[in-house]
A and B are shown apart, each in its own frame.
Chain A
Amino acid sequence: GAVVSQHPSWVICKSGTSVKIECRSLDFQATTMFWYRQFPKQSLMLMATSNEGSKATYEQGVEKDKFLINHASLTLSTLTVTSAHPEDSSFYICSARMAGGANYGYTFGSGTRLTVV
């Protein structure tokens, strides 16, 4: 149980275009989802926290107009990288917490490798 499906696994796009990444909780309701960015050989950097039905909370330094997060239902959150540039190339990972609190752990998606050319 507690599976999070992240799609696509990898994407290559041209500079200036937008890319949408989906994160779905398949067998549980996720009241809160987290979006992380991971640079090579580094730990995960939290970008934003999204709660179903409300606006995402962005971490300091993360451009909310560039990284649009939508959490329209208890099973789906999306991250849209708008007007992508090569410096946005990275590994993006979503995480969902089961309704019930932190003790249930956080289930991670398989990640999306974004390459902007």
Chain B
Amino acid sequence: AQSVTQLDSHVSVSEGTPVLLRCNYSSSYSPSLFWYVQHPNKGLQLLLKYTSAATLVKGINGFEAEFKKSETSFHLTKPSAHMSDAAEYFCVVTPPMIGGSYIPTFGRGTSLIVHP
């Protein structure tokens, strides 16, 4: 079984300040973890993914996330927020490549609000 918890439904930051979107997971195996972004009325775009390689993962648009097994966390960060980062962010966990049904489990989403 697997689950993912996004701890904040909304995060509000000022442009130019750091961004932290929190994600905790539970899994009975070593999972793959993803962060997706969704702009209004758009589909989902992959930001980055962790698949048991380096624990610090760099993604697009300056985002990165660190896999911490001891804390079962995969928080998303960005040093400096931009207005265009305002969107909905989803943390996703899936079973590993070998075995499992591969069905991804979505967090409830975190809405990032960026103030000028």
B34 near A105 with CB under 8 A, answer yes
* A: interface residue count bin: 20 to 34
B34 near A108 with CB under 8 A, answer no
Chain A residues within 8 Å of B51, by CB: 103
Chain A residues within 8 Å of B90, by CB: 43-44
Instruction: Give, as a whole number of angstroms, the nearest-CB distance from B37 to chain A.
Output: 11
Kindly identify, within residues 93 to 116 of chain B, every residue whose CB is under 8 Å from any CB belonging to chain A: 94-98, 100-104, 106-109
B→A interface (CB under 8 Å): 32, 34, 36, 41-46, 49, 51, 90, 92, 94-98, 100-104, 106-109
9 examples of A-B residue contacts, CB within 8 angstroms: A43-B109, A44-B44, A91-B41, A101-B98, A102-B102, A108-B43, A108-B44, A111-B41, A111-B43
6 further interface pairs, Cβ-Cβ under 8 Å (given A32-B102, A103-B51): A42-B108, A91-B41, A97-B102, A102-B95, A105-B34, A106-B92
